[in-house]
Amino acid sequence: MFCYLRDNRVLQKNRGRRTAQPEPPHNTSIVHEFQAAAAENPSLPDAMYHKPVANTLVPASPAPASGKSQPVSMLDFSRQFAGIREEVMQAIERVCVSQRFILGPEVESFERAAAAACAASHAVGCASGTDALWLALEAARIGPGDAVVTTPFSFFATASSILRCGARPIFADIDPLTFNLSADAVREAMAGEPVKAILPVHLYGQCADWDAFAQLQLDHPGLLLIEDAAQAFGATWNGMPAGALGDAACFSFYPTKNLSAIGDAGLVTTRSGTLDERMRMLRAHGMRRRYFHDEVGWNSRLDTIQAAVLEIKLRYLPEWNQQRRNLAANYNQLFLAAGLTGPTVAEGIVLPWTDRRAQHVFHQYVIRAPRRDELRAYLTERRIGTEIYYPLPLHLQESLQSLGYKAGDFPETERAAAEVLALPMYPELRTDEQETVVAAIRDFYA
């Protein structure tokens, strides 16, 4: 159904009146929550609708002669590369000719451009998004005896980076609308714990509720806020970019990201000169002067070719992110037209929800779907790409069992893991491909 909520407090108000009932096997409960909130607040505008900019969607291609639908890939890197091929190849050649492959001038140039794009004072390039998380935590002197609160609904690196510093991750449940870490749940999880930092994830390209986290920081002097912005370069909260919200912010440029390298790469932004200097030292084996090691650091330098390519792509990113928003709006319209969602649909697809304070960049377009695994198998048979981010929450991962969590500890996270399905989403996706995806989903539920 279409979610007509603008304020999570509406959902909380309804949730407070529910009596305890067994959890349903799929998304019936969450649909009913949304329906109840929407029915109680019929004047609330639709927060999921993203009005497209005219004439920016990639038009449909001619239908194949056979009349059969074509496969739809989850991603197609070749389409983006075709549009910037000449610039990228020239940049790679320039680096090869200069022979400055490690920390060449292109690295500093990209760091300056990325800092400006994020409204941050400093940006430090590194080898991956995983290393970005470790660098930020280590530079902030988070270590043994410290605890960091984060979400169990994220990629593994969110938790492993905390452990890598010798600290302990404490999980808190998510907001069922945005899938982001719930500040209310964090407040409860912090009680009596030696919490030094909170690590919210801007999941799928939408910033976490930073108003609530900023209030938590005010209420707990000395508490650090570190953004896991791996999926959110270009996203904003109240007009402020991801990367400028917390004490530090960590980005991934893995090839699937909105801003993507041609290999692994990462970045940390910060407004702190102290953190900036310390991260630069840590990423180079703890050296401030060559061969003089002040600390045991790490080899996590951003290589020059990656930086050169990233700076080219950064210039196109606002256009690409807008195209993702347009495609998300088109998906929403197609699902509504297909009768798969809407205020009169008793049990159907739940579409992505965007907080009115956020500008979403749709790294992923993620739905909640009844009989999710059956639907995914059906789409795979029809050569339509999908993915599940993430099928097993972090608190249930075998390697993290020593943390002492068990099934049932985080019900919203576990419900999301059973229901979410990411559909094809990249700037060059065509409208006819979106129509193929939605038509196949309609046929599955027919």
pLDDT at 211: 99
For residue 60, give the CATH number of its domain: 3.90.1150.10
| 5 has pLDDT over 90 | no
pLDDT at 59: 64
Three-state helix/strand/coil letters over 1-29: CCCCCCCHHHHHHHHCCCCCCCCCCCCHH
Q: Are residues 239 and 377 in the same domain?
A: no
Instruction: State CA 14 to chain mean position distance.
Output: 28
pLDDT at 49: 37
Does residue 334 sit within a domain?
Answer: yes
Q: Are residues 111 and 158 in the same domain?
A: yes
Q: Are residues 107 and 67 in the same domain?
A: no
Q: Where is the domain boundary, 273, 297, 313?
A: 313
Q: Of 120, 132, 82, 97, nearest to 264 (Cα)?
A: 132
pLDDT tens for 147-176 read: 999 999 999 999 999 999 999 999 999 999
Q: Are residues 358 and 425 in the same domain?
A: yes
The average pLDDT across 272-282 equals 98
Q: Are residues 357 and 257 in the same domain?
A: no
Question: Which of these ranges, 30-39, 143-152, 234-243, has the smallest mean pLDDT?
Answer: 30-39
Q: Are residues 46 and 179 in the same domain?
A: no
Element (H, E) at 359: strand 358-359
Q: Are residues 225 and 300 in the same domain?
A: yes
pLDDT tens for 195-231 read: 999 999 999 999 999 999 999 999 999 999 999 999 9
| 78 has pLDDT over 50 | yes
Does residue 375 sit within a domain?
Answer: yes
| 9 has pLDDT over 80 | no
Which are the catalytic amino acids? 257
| 406 has pLDDT over 50 | yes
pLDDT at 347: 76
CA gap 394, 398 in Å, rounded = 9
pLDDT at 22: 36
CA gap 276, 296 in Å, rounded = 17
Does residue 1 sit within a domain?
Answer: no
Does residue 210 sit within a domain?
Answer: yes
pLDDT at 413: 99
pLDDT at 60: 57
| 25 has pLDDT over 60 | no
Instruction: For the chain, give percent helix, strand, coil, nearest 5.
Output: 40, 15, 45
Sheet of 240-241, strands arranged across:
240-241, 236-237, 358-359
| 64 has pLDDT over 60 | no
Q: What percent of the chain has pLDDT over 70?
A: 85
Does residue 2 sit within a domain?
Answer: no
Q: Which residue has the higher pLDDT, 422 or 39?
A: 422
Q: Where is the domain boundary, 294, 313, 332?
A: 313
| 23 has pLDDT over 50 | no
Q: What percent of the chain has pLDDT over 90?
A: 83
The average pLDDT across 412-437 equals 98
Phi, psi (degrees; rounded to nearest 5) at 237: -130, 120
The average pLDDT across 178-186 equals 99
Does residue 21 sit within a domain?
Answer: yes
pLDDT grade, residue 345 (50/70/90)?
confident
pLDDT grade, residue 61 (50/70/90)?
low
Q: Which two tokens stand for residue 65?
A: 């002669």
Q: What single string gives the DSSP state of each residue in 381-430?
A: HTTB--B-S-SS-GGG-GGGGGG---TTSSHHHHHHHHHEEEEP--TT-B
Q: Where is the domain boundary, 313, 337, 366?
A: 313
CA gap 321, 264 in Å, rounded = 21
**Whole-number average pLDDT of the chain:** 89
User: What is the CB-side half-sphere exposure of residue 277 using CA atoms within 13 A?
Assistant: 6
Number of domain units in the chain: 2
Q: Are residues 215 and 243 in the same domain?
A: yes
pLDDT tens for 316-325 read: 999 999 999 9
Element (H, E) at 272: none
pLDDT at 15: 34
Q: Are residues 49 and 85 in the same domain?
A: no
pLDDT tens for 104-119 read: 999 999 999 999 999 9
Q: Are residues 124 and 259 in the same domain?
A: yes
Q: Are residues 330 and 291 in the same domain?
A: no
CB 315 within 8 A of CB 333: no
Q: Are residues 108 and 153 in the same domain?
A: yes
Does residue 170 sit within a domain?
Answer: yes
CA gap 309, 91 in Å, rounded = 7
| 1 has pLDDT over 70 | no
pLDDT at 124: 99
Does residue 153 sit within a domain?
Answer: yes
Residue 94 is part of which domain span? 78-313
CA gap 419, 186 in Å, rounded = 23
CA gap 235, 241 in Å, rounded = 6
8 Cβ neighbours under 8 A, 6+ residues apart:
175, 177, 209, 355
